Structure 1
């Protein structure tokens, strides 16, 4: 049990999440995802969570484990071509995780996603939340355009609106 981490999570408030991600920032993130998805056949979701609470926190659930849970809960896996991708930020830890469906993961491996996560985490460590997410979406887009360029009918299967938990 990591007492320091538990305290950070218990002290992270919804107000801090709103200050880091005001409505205007969420709107720009949504627009960036919409613009991105025009250029490829992937489906991007962005979710930010202030902190873990309850048993997941006390059992030491990692940001990665939580991202995988949310990948399922948000039904990011539920796309026709297995082309969903979740960018998840756990604000209390300033940890970013990218979880890609198997269709994407076969083409782009964990190492590339980890580089993007680290880039975003550096921006967040300086409280540059909006630019960190927008640059992360842009970096993900570059991979998706390379491996899954737009073509034919490119329907939007998942909502583009960021999820704030």
Structure 2
């Protein structure tokens, strides 16, 4: 879902990103998403973090590279079993990226399917439903590939509340 070149040239992409964030990611919605993430993470050792960027920085024009940068800056990699997963949305660029740490032994084909389902929801303007469905999809993958480890106290290693960048 890449924005067209005219949106970038005119600055409309920046305005659109801000509008989308304000309209679809209110404090109440962010809390609802955080609760869903917290509930889902109880069944496995996977840790999901959602990062929503209204306006992508000019220094990194590639959304995948930006998602990797955010993965590092938010320390998604810093979990005891290396089971962090980042769901990154660049609203101005209409991009979705999913990055999983090396401890999540899911097949590579699982992640694009989640992104495509989320993309379908977003195109229809169903942001909250799409994000919640993506959280459920990611948590399903983590439940299969990051089972609870013996001796793990189930402590939440990453914040559940989505991060607005």
Normalised by the size of structure 1, how large is the TM-score?
A: 0.88
The 8 Å contact of residues 52 and 164 in structure 2, kept in 1 or not, is answered as yes
Structure 1: runs of 5 or more not aligned: none
Cα distance, 1:94 vs structure 2: 2.3
Secondary structure, counterpart of 1:103 in structure 2? coil
Cα distance, 1:28 vs structure 2: 0.8
The 8 Å contact of residues 56 and 93 in structure 2, kept in 1 or not, is answered as no
33, 43, 46: which is aligned to 1:39?
43
Q: Aligned equivalents of 1:8 and 1:15: distance in 2?
A: 10
Q: Aligned equivalents of 1:117 and 1:155: distance in 2?
A: 27
How many equivalent pairs are there?
158
Task: Give RMSD over aligned pairs.
Answer: 1.6
Q: Aligned equivalents of 1:86 and 1:53: distance in 2?
A: 18
Cα distance, 1:96 vs structure 2: 1.1
Q: Aligned equivalents of 1:81 and 1:42: distance in 2?
A: 8
Secondary structure, counterpart of 1:54 in structure 2? coil
Tell me what 2:133 maps to: 135
The equivalences for 1:150-165 within 5 A come to 150-151=148-149, 152=151, 153-165=153-165
Tell me what 2:96 maps to: 96
Tell me what 1:3 maps to: 5
The 8 Å contact of residues 17 and 92 in structure 2, kept in 1 or not, is answered as no
* Bigger helix fraction: 1
The equivalences for 1:51-70 within 5 A come to 51-56=55-60, 61-70=61-70
The 8 Å contact of residues 29 and 128 in structure 2, kept in 1 or not, is answered as yes
The 8 Å contact of residues 76 and 85 in structure 1, kept in 2 or not, is answered as yes
Normalised by the size of structure 2, how large is the TM-score?
A: 0.88
Q: 1:51 to 1:149 in 2, by over 3 A?
A: same
